[in-house]
Structure 1
Amino acid sequence: IWLGLLQKRQALGQEHDVRLTPLTVESIHRFLEYRLQGSVDEDFAAVIHERSDGNPLFLERLVDYVMQHEMLIDIHGQWQLMDNDLAAQALSHGVRQLLRQQIAQLPDKVQEGLKVASVAGMHVTSALVAAGAEAETEPINDALQWAASRSYFLQMQELEAWPDGTISSAYRFGHVLYRQVLYELLPAERRLTLHRCIGARLERAYFDDLDPIAGPLAYHFAQGRDVPRAVQYLHRASVGALRRFAAHEAIAHLSTALELVPALPSSHDRIQIEYNLQTTLGAAIISGKGTVEAGLEAHTVYQRAYQLGKAAGDIDQLFPTLAGLENIARARADYVGAQHLGGHLLNYAHMSLDPIHLASAYRALSINHAMQGHYLAARDYAEACRQFYIDPNRLRDRPIYTLDPILTCQLWYAIVLVELGYPEQAMALSRANVRRAHELRDPVSMTQALVSVASVSRFCQPPRIAYEAARTLVTHAAQYEQPFWERVGTAFFALAMVRQGHANEGLSQLEPLPAIHRAGGGGQGFALFLNLVAEAYYGANRTAAGLELLQEAETFIEDQGERIAEAELHWQRGRLLQRQGNVTQAEACLSRALLLARQQRAKGAELRVATSLGRLWQAQGERERARQLLMPTYGWFTEGFETAELQAAKALLSELA
């Protein structure tokens, strides 16, 4: 049909008028049914559309190719491809043959222009193609305009202006396959020369601001075997990707650069170059996978960077590597190792006096002390961390620091404040975290802020508000592909559902989570997570399952020293045992929880436990004993009287009066 139309117009000297609109999948489906005189499978039409890009001339020839090679089968009166995968491969080969035939029919100057353009990329300018061809721009532009107006190879784009003042016509290949076939027609040595020429022209065009085109420059110099410049621009491109929160793109750039390091000339400082690449790669891995999931991979990278950095002896360079190692140690729940590294960080920070270094060191020590249940020390280090103001723009300029130290410190500090008995301060701090995340304008920081809100809401807010906080966290973490925090958010969400009377729905989401968390190695906060799930089981009257999880949590606490969860564990166990009717053991567990809370000077935890123990004694008729236990603890508080836990304590005291 279309081929015949083209041949007739060529015979009349009207081939320049032929410019057919690409066909949709639906149009191709109708054409195939007409051509084959029967019903056609939709997948068949989709494969043909994908391989032809809707080009009517390709379509005719592709259908001929399919029929000649007997790729079709009639199943229940419907034409289908016998094997979609094999057919797709065969069609790709067939399309390439057709393209080579079409290219050979083009004028020589047009062929040459298109081949050079294929080296420049999918989006090309006449100025860049002329630089590669080492020719004047005007004849090159004439050839590209001819191709754009009389073939499907190129599509005209708007004029493009470069920083050096160059204004050039711009084009885009109509399909990636067009560019691939043209590129393959060039000899390897010619490609290498063209890549170098095009890269050099781009450098001159953007000499004042090369960061936006670091990726294309890295590509051209890598293909042109200019290793020093390829490595330089791969690193710059990775930093730019991290600023856009495109961690996987950054990892790809850095991995390529590290493969090229051994090929650097001996005149280059390979140790320094590899150190910079490894440090940035560690940050990219954590940014892309999260600290917990990054695990061994990030640790290996940072360990290599640290060994390289020690030779340089530069604190500014060594600090982010040491901070990365501390971050990974803590994420693996190696709190002793992390605290040791935190001490080194503080020593380095005192030497550099860099606010980012000082805040990062205090953050590390605050979180490590919090995880080990040393709340007062955690509070002091957190307050020291918060003395520094770090401009969000400065953090964006230094993406090797994976997370804002102020925000991550305040996340855990808000939890510590709840345990210490300052719920209003904790809620205010969680709100401040959200404001800080908005200033930072990155999804990872917002996740941290939302975790803070959900954690505080669990103890300080009614179930309805806790439900909304958890739902917001789950939605955000899922949107930005953060599976660890999505699981944590789901646990908060399920607990809030159980508290609102939707136990079956809550447990259906909750039950798979411990095994998934466990398979990921547990890591920082694993005992806290198990406590959270156990509380949901308590609310759903699943006492045996809850007690089993708490046994696992206790083992983790003893092995890793995560004593931030210890008082709560015994509180949860006491409540579950009481619900089973084992009052003696329940009282022993609650008494143990009360002792631990007092040792940690955790008034929030003490109130929580005292309320439960008071209820138990009330049920045994020991009303005065219960009142004497709860009254001084409740009387200590100076804020948060509208929170759920203080309201529960107040209600019990009223009953005991």
Structure 2
Amino acid sequence: MLGGLFEFADLGLHELKGFDAPIRAWRVLRESAAETRFEARATSGLAPTVGREHELALLAELWSKAASGEGQVVLLSGEPGIGKSHLIQALRERLRDRPHIRIRCQCSPFHANSALRPSIVQLTRAAGFHPDDPPSVKLDKLERLLARSTDKVRDDAPLLSAFLSLPVGSRYAPLNLSPQRQKELTLEALIRQLVGLAARQPVLLVFEDIHWIDPTSLELLDRLVPQIPRLAVLAIFSFRPEFEPRWIGHPRVTSLALNRLSHRQGAALVQRLTGGKALPGGLLEQMVAKTDGVPLFLEEVTKAVIESDVLTDEGDRYALAGPLPPLAIPATLQDSLVARLDRLVAPAREGAQIGAAIGREFSYELLAAVAQRGERELQGALDQLIGAELVIARGRPPHATCIFKHALVGDAAYATLLRSRRQQLHTRIAHALEQHFGEVVEHEPEIVAQHYTAAGLSLQAIGYWQRAGESANDRSANDEAQSHLQKALNLIETLPAGPERQRRELAALTVLGRVLAARSGYANPEVEQVYSRARRLCELMPEDADLFPVLLGLAIYSATRAELTSAHELSGRLLDLARQSNDPVWVVEAHYARGVGFSWRGDFREARKHLELASESYRPQRHRAHLALYGQDPGPICLCRGSAVLWHLGYPDQALARMEDALVLAERLAHPFSRAYVLTWAAWLRLFRREVAEAEERIDRALTFATEQAYPFWTAMAAQQKGWLSAKQGHKERAIAQIEDSLARMQAVGTHVTQAYAMGLLGEVLGSVNRASDGVRLIDRALDQVNRTREQWCHAELLRLRGALCAAAEPGDCREAEISFRQAIERSREQGAKSWELRAATSLARLLAEQGKRAEAHDLLAPTYGWFTEGFDTLDLKEAKTLLDKLGA
């Protein structure tokens, strides 16, 4: 009688007075955390399963295979009310006495863009979290749960705690992972739990209603399906016909579509629902005909007719109480459900309506906060809903969770509300969440946003949609983030034209631009559209505080795309805003943007000034709080970019020392993106210094870290460096392939800075394999790009490389080579780029010496070499000194 409502301990057989045979006794342990809307009432049978014998036999057969280690996936499809969940429950009943583990995840239209929501709910339930548990107790429970399936509790607990928004205190070190890497490791941890459980016992994994699945959960299933055949797992994914599963054709994947019941099967179902009591023949025929073979419709119509005053109970049969009214049998499932709701007392009907406004699943606490009724009256209303089998409750008030028996029940209850009443309820729900459910507001702002949107309160909704987008972006749930931000933008379009609308649109576009770029790179046309619109809005708006993060995002976007004229203008506006505000954080960020822009443009003196001003104003504690807003820590980044600038200006030893400072600071701060930035530039410095062994170590570290953290920009840049390294190690063909691959990667993600330099490196390698003419043509393309984009930091070196290739292509005619070398020297002097100048002067001096112009060569190279005061152990200075010694001999 108690069915699955409680968990019991078996006390064995006992002799009891009044009974002839021993009776099995049980001790009640606790209320059951029933996993489904059916499980709690499973032993009494929520509704009979009729007409599914073949399908149930197929599932049982697949279970037998899965239990023996041949994992199976079932794609279970069918229209609403066709009996997908009933079939799954029938399988669960069949397996009840067999050793196995059940995992059930439920998708919902209210959480279709809440990343991994089904897994969050399942894991929370499996761990046995109680609303009153403090974080430390929840963490204890989580660790005990994980210990059942893995020996990597120390690895997985911090990941899954973050996933559950559970603070870990000092028990675990901060994760310090990029959002993308953290998401990937979290998905791996979730799969690892399933693998570990399946090694203990066969697992029945059910993902219901995946037509409402969130993108990150869908990614989880994409990763999981190929692994299922190796596990003792039967995975059942249920969905409506409009969903198109992407796993058809995979090994051990079976598609199972449920059809409507036949007339005979429908009549049999009615007989079971009435407990075997006969219905008047004409009435039974009408019921079966009108419900058209949809089991849920037939079930609801049967209950609606029995509950009405149309029939009288004659003990073994039902009889008509009088002539059958024309509308006695509802014409649609919706009508049937509405008719049953209408027969409820007012508090119960209102409870169903409020629950429907909250969602498919709703807590008693939130229902009470919104209903504003006395506890006894509210519990009575809930009892009536449960008794009518419209709602299933898990747990007891005030910690009960209520679930509509079927999504269509909630839809029917919601449809009975007038528009004004709906808006009123959604307003009350949003206010209740804000006042009493801080965790929902903090960790699921999209829920509050949905209610404010449905309430017609656009301004409040916009703010929450943007918070939801930012939160999803922080977790690298890019599809969900884009959806939230697009909803914000859709609402912004409904606001009156004016500064407030512009400001809100600009804020949303800035975050959306970052989201789109993270997902598909800066080459995506959507990214360009978003930033172009943001730039136009900036031009319309006065300079104020809200503009600063927007302008910074635009400046970074423009610089990455090698749109350096635009980046230069934007960084100037940033500096003006920072000076006006006197905000120390803004001052650092503005000088950083200005310095990086100058360095890309080849104005190394100005770049040094701004980067050093940024470093002088930087304070780690002050800027740590701004990482989420700006995405990187300017401290180590300004040091590493300043290091590269120092090398260009002719201070190779100071550059090396500053880079070491950057590396130490980046390691200490442990911010993944900033660390990837510094590691990559540390490799560049060794490459500039032409230190092959040291460069190899730095490049490998940078590439490994960028790959682990899933940073496509930094992996593409490290691939450039890897190509240079291969060339220096004598692997020329490999070098060509690596640099070409890096160029393709950079093009794919819309990163144009350093492309020209990569083309120069590739041209140099081509020259070394007797393809000097091809190299010249490639470098000419690079020079055209430099002139077009103003990315002139490598202009002098490209000219020098062109000269070397011209000399190799036309050994007997060095005029073109000499022109390029002299242009390189002139350009480097304009920029103050002493290191490029030394390299170009050495190349030209060598060419002149080969022509017998030794004195001219010496006089050209000596002043440049004589300028240097450090770096005499670097290859460039050693080669220059060796050449000078030969020329002076």
* TM bucket normalised to smaller: 0.7 to 0.9
Shift of 1:285: 1.2
Question: 2:506 aligned with 1:278, yes or no?
Answer: yes
Q: Return the alpha-carbon distance in structure 1 between the equivalents of residues 383 and 87 of structure 2.
A: 22
Select between 322-331 and 619-628 the one with higher mean Cα deviation. Answer: 619-628
Q: Return the alpha-carbon distance in structure 1 between the equivalents of residues 614 and 392 of structure 2.
A: 57
Shift of 1:354: 1.7
Shift of 1:441: 5.5
Within 5 Å, which residues of 2 pair with 1:44-63?
45-48=73-76, 55-57=88-90
Contact persistence 2:360–2:410 (CA under 8 A)? no
Given candidates 580, 589, 599, the residue that maps to 1:351 is: 580
Shift of 1:332: 4.3
Question: 2:829 aligned with 1:591, yes or no?
Answer: no
Residue 466 of structure 1: aligned partner: 695
CA 1:336 to 1:53, structure 2 compared with 1: closer, same or farther past 3 Å? Answer: farther
Contact persistence 2:77–2:258 (CA under 8 A)? no
Contact persistence 2:488–2:508 (CA under 8 A)? no
Q: Return the alpha-carbon distance in structure 2 between the equivalents of residues 306 and 34 of structure 1.
A: 60
Shift of 1:379: 1.6
Within 5 Å, which residues of 2 pair with 1:525-544?
525-538=754-767, 542-544=771-773
Residue 31 of structure 1: aligned partner: 60
Bigger helix share: 1
Partner of 1:638: helix, strand, or coil?
Answer: coil
**AA of the residue aligned to 1:605:** W
Within 5 Å, which residues of 2 pair with 1:565-644?
565-582=794-811, 584=814, 585-616=816-847, 629-644=860-875
CA 1:215 to 1:432, structure 2 compared with 1: closer, same or farther past 3 Å? Answer: farther
Contact persistence 2:692–2:728 (CA under 8 A)? yes
Residue 169 of structure 1: aligned partner: 399
Shift of 1:260: 1.4
Question: 2:366 aligned with 1:128, yes or no?
Answer: yes
Partner of 2:461: helix, strand, or coil?
Answer: helix
Residue 594 of structure 2: aligned partner: 365
CA 1:144 to 1:393, structure 2 compared with 1: closer, same or farther past 3 Å? Answer: farther
Partner of 1:564: helix, strand, or coil?
Answer: coil
CA 1:492 to 1:590, structure 2 compared with 1: closer, same or farther past 3 Å? Answer: same
Residue 605 of structure 2: aligned partner: 376
CA 1:397 to 1:611, structure 2 compared with 1: closer, same or farther past 3 Å? Answer: closer
**AA of the residue aligned to 2:365:** A
Scaled by the length of structure 1, the TM-score of the pair is 0.73
Q: Return the alpha-carbon distance in structure 1 between the equivalents of residues 723 and 295 of structure 2.
A: 58
Contact persistence 1:103–1:111 (CA under 8 A)? no
Q: Give the structure, 1 or 2, with the largest relative contact order (CA under 8 Å, sep 6 or more).
A: 2
Q: Deviations over 1:405-431 (max 9, x none)?
A: 555544543322221122233334344
Q: Return the alpha-carbon distance in structure 2 between the equivalents of residues 100 and 413 of structure 1.
A: 71
Partner of 2:534: helix, strand, or coil?
Answer: helix
RMSD value, Cα:
5.1
Partner of 1:187: helix, strand, or coil?
Answer: helix
Whose radius of gyration is greater, 1 or 2? Answer: 2
Contact persistence 1:408–1:448 (CA under 8 A)? yes
Residue 775 of structure 2: aligned partner: 546
**AA of the residue aligned to 1:57:** A
Question: 2:723 aligned with 1:489, yes or no?
Answer: no
Q: Return the alpha-carbon distance in structure 2 between the equivalents of residues 436 and 288 of structure 1.
A: 30
Question: 2:254 aligned with 1:16, yes or no?
Answer: no
Residue 5 of structure 1: aligned partner: none
Partner of 2:617: helix, strand, or coil?
Answer: coil
CA 1:181 to 1:436, structure 2 compared with 1: closer, same or farther past 3 Å? Answer: farther
Q: Return the alpha-carbon distance in structure 2 between the equivalents of residues 298 and 395 of structure 1.
A: 28
Q: Return the alpha-carbon distance in structure 2 between the equivalents of residues 472 and 156 of structure 1.
A: 51
CA 1:113 to 1:468, structure 2 compared with 1: closer, same or farther past 3 Å? Answer: farther
Contact persistence 2:739–2:758 (CA under 8 A)? no
Q: Return the alpha-carbon distance in structure 1 between the equivalents of residues 780 and 698 of structure 2.
A: 29
Q: Return the alpha-carbon distance in structure 2 between the equivalents of residues 578 and 519 of structure 1.
A: 34
Residue 616 of structure 2: aligned partner: 387
Given candidates 309, 327, 333, the residue that maps to 2:541 is: 309
Q: Return the alpha-carbon distance in structure 1 between the equivalents of residues 684 and 59 of structure 2.
A: 57
Q: Deviations over 1:156-208 (max 9, x none)?
A: 69x9xxxxxxx9526597xxx97744543432464655544432221111469
**AA of the residue aligned to 1:499:** K
Shift of 1:365: 3.0
Partner of 2:399: helix, strand, or coil?
Answer: strand
Residue 164 of structure 1: aligned partner: none
Contact persistence 1:283–1:400 (CA under 8 A)? no
Select between 51-60 and 453-462 the one with higher mean Cα deviation. Answer: 51-60
Question: 2:247 aligned with 1:214, yes or no?
Answer: no
Aligned length in residues: 597
Contact persistence 1:494–1:506 (CA under 8 A)? yes
CA 1:33 to 1:283, structure 2 compared with 1: closer, same or farther past 3 Å? Answer: closer
Contact persistence 1:116–1:133 (CA under 8 A)? yes
Partner of 2:545: helix, strand, or coil?
Answer: helix
Contact persistence 2:653–2:870 (CA under 8 A)? yes
Q: Deviations over 1:580-604 (max 9, x none)?
A: 3536133432233223223322221
**AA of the residue aligned to 2:724:** L
Contact persistence 2:482–2:515 (CA under 8 A)? no
Given candidates 281, 296, 315, the residue that maps to 2:528 is: 296
Gaps of 5+ in 1: 1-13, 20-26, 67-77, 160-166
Q: Return the alpha-carbon distance in structure 2 between the equivalents of residues 209 and 574 of structure 1.
A: 64
Select between 503-512 and 200-209 the one with higher mean Cα deviation. Answer: 200-209
Q: Deviations over 1:361-419 (max 9, x none)?
A: 33333233323322212222222222212556656458554555555544543322221
**AA of the residue aligned to 2:457:** D
Select between 536-545 and 616-625 the one with higher mean Cα deviation. Answer: 616-625
Residue 255 of structure 1: aligned partner: 486
CA 1:570 to 1:60, structure 2 compared with 1: closer, same or farther past 3 Å? Answer: same
Partner of 1:511: helix, strand, or coil?
Answer: helix
Q: Return the alpha-carbon distance in structure 2 between the equivalents of residues 133 and 100 of structure 1.
A: 29
Shift of 1:550: 0.6
Residue 784 of structure 2: aligned partner: 555
Q: Return the alpha-carbon distance in structure 2 between the equivalents of residues 54 and 539 of structure 1.
A: 69
CA 1:323 to 1:552, structure 2 compared with 1: closer, same or farther past 3 Å? Answer: same
Scaled by the length of structure 2, the TM-score of the pair is 0.56
Partner of 2:541: helix, strand, or coil?
Answer: helix
Q: Return the alpha-carbon distance in structure 2 between the equivalents of residues 34 and 168 of structure 1.
A: 38
Given candidates 163, 170, 184, the residue that maps to 2:411 is: 184
Q: Return the alpha-carbon distance in structure 1 between the equivalents of residues 704 and 605 of structure 2.
A: 34
Residue 678 of structure 2: aligned partner: 449
Partner of 1:204: helix, strand, or coil?
Answer: helix
Select between 201-210 and 598-607 the one with higher mean Cα deviation. Answer: 201-210
Partner of 1:47: helix, strand, or coil?
Answer: strand
Residue 75 of structure 1: aligned partner: none
Residue 462 of structure 2: aligned partner: 231
Q: Return the alpha-carbon distance in structure 2 between the equivalents of residues 206 and 409 of structure 1.
A: 42
Shift of 1:28: 9.1
Partner of 1:46: helix, strand, or coil?
Answer: strand
Partner of 2:413: helix, strand, or coil?
Answer: coil
CA 1:511 to 1:348, structure 2 compared with 1: closer, same or farther past 3 Å? Answer: closer
CA 1:186 to 1:89, structure 2 compared with 1: closer, same or farther past 3 Å? Answer: farther
CA 1:137 to 1:471, structure 2 compared with 1: closer, same or farther past 3 Å? Answer: farther
Q: Return the alpha-carbon distance in structure 1 between the equivalents of residues 882 and 870 of structure 2.
A: 17
Q: Return the alpha-carbon distance in structure 2 between the equivalents of residues 223 and 407 of structure 1.
A: 46
**AA of the residue aligned to 1:282:** T
**AA of the residue aligned to 1:186:** A
